[in-house]
Chains A and B, each alone.
Chain A
Amino acid sequence: MDKKQILLAEDEFTARKLLEFQLKRLNIVFDSVETGSDALEYFRRGSYKLVLLDEYMPGLNGSEVAREIRKMDPTIPLLAMTSDPEAIPRLKEAGFREVFVKPLHGKVHLDIILGYLS
């Protein structure tokens, strides 16, 4: 199975479209889903180098998805997105290596993502 580079889970459409647009421009192969449960389903079936999760999603939130992914792959880099700066410590404790606070900034966040992919 080909290894895709990124699994992206974000229910809010402006953030999702922005990221999709940016990743396409960089020729990064990714899967994009809108819910935590879809993210888990994709992760079980696919193979990724990095997972980027929004924290607040319908059903399973990003932390819950991260916990399940950790059980399957303890080493995969997990990155979180949130609009609440107060959530950063909690997300770090949940195992996210980076936390992006919205609004999403192109170069800053993409450089971090590229750093993990390289």
Chain B
Amino acid sequence: MIIIQLPELIGKIQNDLSAVGIQPTIQHTYTDPAKGCTIHDPDRIAQVLTVFFIQLESALQGRSCALQWDYQGGTLSATLQGIFPSERETVLSRTRVSLQCIGGTLTLEQEGCQLTLPLPTIPPPSRYPPKDPLEAFLETSSIEPLKNLTGNTSEGKHPIFDPTILQQACPDEEFSQQLLEDFLSHCKTLLLELEHLINHGEDLVKIHRIAHSIKGGGLNVGAFRLAEVARWMEQQAKAGKTEGLQKALHLLKDEELLLECAYREYYGQEANPPG
């Protein structure tokens, strides 16, 4: 029995699929993110993985290939067991990987190594669980993008990315794009810090500060949904509550990715207008 980490396992899967005439696409960066979104729905992931491994088993022409997995807190703990033709040995991988479904592809990632495969076509679940308080909050709350003491107020909705905010604040598009790039980069760092804090003791003072920073930055670059989730997390931390922080963190990660997709799509279209 051999213990194999995911990067090695990906190589084995690639070799084994190649041996039976299938050429999976192995990529180090995901592609076409603008067309999809990230999901953290365990039921949906279960469907995707089940079909994927059935297909894999079929591709391996009946050789045993079983997957046990557990998805909690944004992390997939997976155990893959199978007889692979390249070594004729039992392969066991017990590892922690992140999983994303983006733009019709499934991405498994660990330590910078990614496996990207086309997603099986699966209809979405007919029923989703009832809304939790965070989702209800996001649906019912509203924010005001402009309000000063002179009484000027305009109500905002919740677009992923509203480019008019930066356009109004700054007519220089090059500067605006750079500011957004910097914010996205900074946001990723802050999300990593948040993840560490939430998973290691939940220092609510620091969580509050980081959520506040994401909220303020999000508002300034027109990322209202991101800002709204951050606002919810900020309020929870300020109230000394830890409930829902993990879920809010997942939502923040989703929104950050969606913001990046929306931003790149917007400026891509601007740079290459049709016709």
Contact = CB atoms under 8 A, between A and B. Distances in A.
A74 interface: no
A78 B144 CA distance: 23
A22 interface: yes
Nearest to B175: A21
Nearest to B187: A14
A68 interface: no
Given A12-B213, A56-B212, A106-B171, A100 B148 contact: yes
A108 B152 contact: yes
Residue picked from B150, B219, B227, most chain A C-beta under 10 Å:
B219
A67 interface: no
Interface string B39-70: 00000000000000000000000000000000
Contacts of A98: 148-149
Contacts of A17: 179, 182
A85 B165 CA distance: 18
B168 A107 contact: yes
B50 to A, nearest CB: 42
Nearest to B230: A83
Nearest to A80: B149
A24 B213 CA distance: 24
Contacts of B149: 88, 92, 98-99
Contacts, number: 81
Contacts of B175: 21
Given A17-B179, A58-B209, A99-B149, A105 B169 contact: yes
A103 B145 contact: yes
A22 B109 CA distance: 41
A102 to B, nearest CB: 5
B88 interface: no
Contact of A14 (B171, B212, B221, B231): B221
A101 to B, nearest CB: 5
A83 B209 contact: no
B170 interface: yes
A112 interface: yes
A58 B208 CA distance: 12
A104 interface: yes
B148 A14 contact: no
A15 interface: yes
A17 B172 CA distance: 13
B144 A85 contact: yes
B186 interface: yes
B216 A83 contact: yes
Interface in B196-217: 209, 212-213, 215-217
**Pairs of residues from A and B, 6 with the lowest C-beta to C-beta distance, nearest first:** A14-B220, A12-B216, A103-B219, A14-B217, A106-B169, A101-B147
Given A17-B179, A83-B215, A106-B168, 16 more contacts: A13-B183, A13-B186, A18-B179, A21-B175, A56-B212, A83-B219, A83-B227, A85-B144, A88-B147, A92-B149, A98-B149, A102-B216, A103-B145, A103-B222, A104-B220, A105-B146
19 contacts: A12-B213, A12-B216, A13-B217, A14-B183, A17-B182, A18-B179, A83-B212, A83-B216, A101-B146, A101-B147, A102-B216, A103-B169, A103-B219, A106-B168, A106-B169, A106-B170, A107-B168, A108-B152, A112-B150
